[in-house]
Amino acid sequence: MSDKYAVIGNPIGHTKSPLIHGQFAQSTAQDLVYTAIEGPLDGFAAAVDAFRAAGGLGMNITTPFKLDAFRYATDLTERARRAGAVNAMKFEGERAYADNFDGVGLVRDIVHNMGCPLQGQRVLVLGAGGAVRGALLPFMEQHPARLVLANRTLEKARALAATIAGPITACSYAELAGQQFDMVVNATSASLRAELPPVPASVFSQAHLAYELAYGKGLTPFLRLAQNAGVAQLADGVGMLAEQAAEAFAWWRGVRPETRAVIEKLTIPLL
């Protein structure tokens, strides 16, 4: 019988994880089946318990359950603990081991796939939600010159910035006026609603990369603003999605799949 893995979220109909992990399994000759589970908003633990009882060995966790998974886990990696959020678990007996590969996947996509080193760069991150929590530590490990965290709720951004050592500061969107950056990363949910975060176009005046964590949305308002400001490289979150999935797959199965074919298959032209 094939080993069982799954992704849990709500809603879950849009997920590409079964396709990604299915291709990973095929390319690495791993005998597994990977499904999608729409967990009840108030029933995360029960849904995971049922999956484990049916023989499930591991799960990816997506919105809105990353904090629920953090509380559910019995064993957290240092990365997950510091992020305060979990996007992957594996089950061994009574133990639920948990990690967070979001930031690792994002950094790998930017640095290795796109050829954009973070070292010495001025980086602006928009948003202070779960995805940002997982990304900050891997970002800072790349030694940017400075990292600015902008959010509608300034106190939330300040509290998050205070958890990470290094040249990281928080500000409101209004305070971005007159500031320039080399890279701008949109980790807000605005693009999911086809909206633009309240970021001034001037932040792109010296930028060479605009990265949208949302994927499959084409040229979002954020990316269009960056394009109109002259940013040369535009990207959505397909590469991050594939890279974090590969990290989880390697954690579960002991072999890291190549990601290029998956990224090419999922990439939608930014038109």
State yes or no: 131 annotated in a binding site. yes
Instruction: Just list the catalytic residues.
Output: 66
Report the interhelical angle of 130-140 vs 154-161 (nearest 10°). Answer: 40
Alpha helices for the chain (secondary structure H): 17-28, 44-53, 66-72, 78-83, 102-108, 130-140, 154-161, 221-228, 238-253, 260-266
In a domain, 217, yes or no: yes
State yes or no: 186 annotated in a binding site. no
**Are 157 and 225 found together in one domain?**
yes
In a domain, 118, yes or no: yes
- Domain coverage including residue 189: 103-236
Mean pLDDT of the chain: 95
Structure confidence by residue, pLDDT tens digits, 134-143:
899 899 999 9
Instruction: Return the pLDDT at 76.
Output: 98
**Are 62 and 46 found together in one domain?**
yes
Q: How far apart are CA 146 and CA 63, in angstroms?
A: 29
**Are 63 and 141 found together in one domain?**
no
**Are 172 and 209 found together in one domain?**
yes
Q: Can you give the length of the chain in residues?
A: 271
Report the interhelical angle of 17-28 vs 238-253 (nearest 10°). Answer: 50
Structure confidence by residue, pLDDT tens digits, 113-128:
999 999 999 999 999 9
State yes or no: 128 annotated in a binding site. yes
Q: How far apart are CA 249 and CA 255, in angstroms?
A: 7
Structure confidence by residue, pLDDT tens digits, 196-232:
999 999 999 999 999 999 888 899 999 999 999 999 9
State yes or no: 195 annotated in a binding site. no
**Are 91 and 129 found together in one domain?**
no
Q: Model confidence at 271, in pLDDT bands (50, 70, 90)?
A: low
- Among 244, 7, 266, CA closest to 134: 244
In a domain, 197, yes or no: yes
State yes or no: 237 annotated in a binding site. yes
Number of domains in the chain: 2
Instruction: Return the pLDDT at 175.
Output: 97
State yes or no: 163 annotated in a binding site. no
**Are 120 and 219 found together in one domain?**
yes
In a domain, 194, yes or no: yes
- Exposure string of 79-93, with b = 16+ CB inside 10 Å and e = fewer, is bbebbbbbbbbbbee
Structure confidence by residue, pLDDT tens digits, 158-207:
999 998 889 999 999 999 999 999 999 999 988 888 899 999 999 999 99
What pTM was computed for the model? 0.93
State yes or no: 153 annotated in a binding site. yes
In a domain, 271, yes or no: no
Residue 47 has pLDDT above 70, yes or no: yes
Q: Using CA atoms of 114, 117, 123, 127 in order, give the dihedral in degrees to the nearest 10.
A: 50
Q: How far apart are CA 67 and CA 83, in angstroms?
A: 10
State yes or no: 16 annotated in a binding site. yes
**Are 160 and 225 found together in one domain?**
yes
